[in-house]
Structure 1
Amino acid sequence: MTQAVVEVGARLRYDGRIWTLAVLEGARATLVTDEGTSAVVLLPYLFAHPSFEVEGGPAPGRMPP
């Protein structure tokens, strides 16, 4: 099984958008869209969100269908 890595620069799908992980600080992630919109999200909330995926691979803890 291949696991996706969530690190600065990773492309993520969350809440109907594609984001780039710009900053990891403690339990917070700062996400930025290509249009410049930004959001700060707590990592446990991000990982638990039903729409969360790492682009190009499965999200950690999820099994592919």
Structure 2
Amino acid sequence: MKTGKTMVEVMRSTPTPNTLTTNVASASNDTHEGIKQYYIQKIEELQLHVAEKSQNLRRLQAKRNELNAK
């Protein structure tokens, strides 16, 4: 650091290598987060669907058992 320059001035004048690479990596991370959220939502929807089907199955089994007991 040259005498007389503040740290902010030094940081501003320092070139930032790989700026494009950093931006691409950031965009890639955003894309990965978007994809991750998409699949998390899909998994939750499917889990809800399975729970509804399981509940319906138990209801129908109980109904069948009730009718068979008569």
Q: Same fold (TM over 0.5)?
A: no
Bigger helix fraction: 2
**Would you tell me which structure has more strand in proportion to its own residues?**
1
Q: Give the TM-score normalised by structure 1.
A: 0.16
Tell me the TM-score normalised to structure 2 length. 0.16
Greater radius of gyration (CA): 2
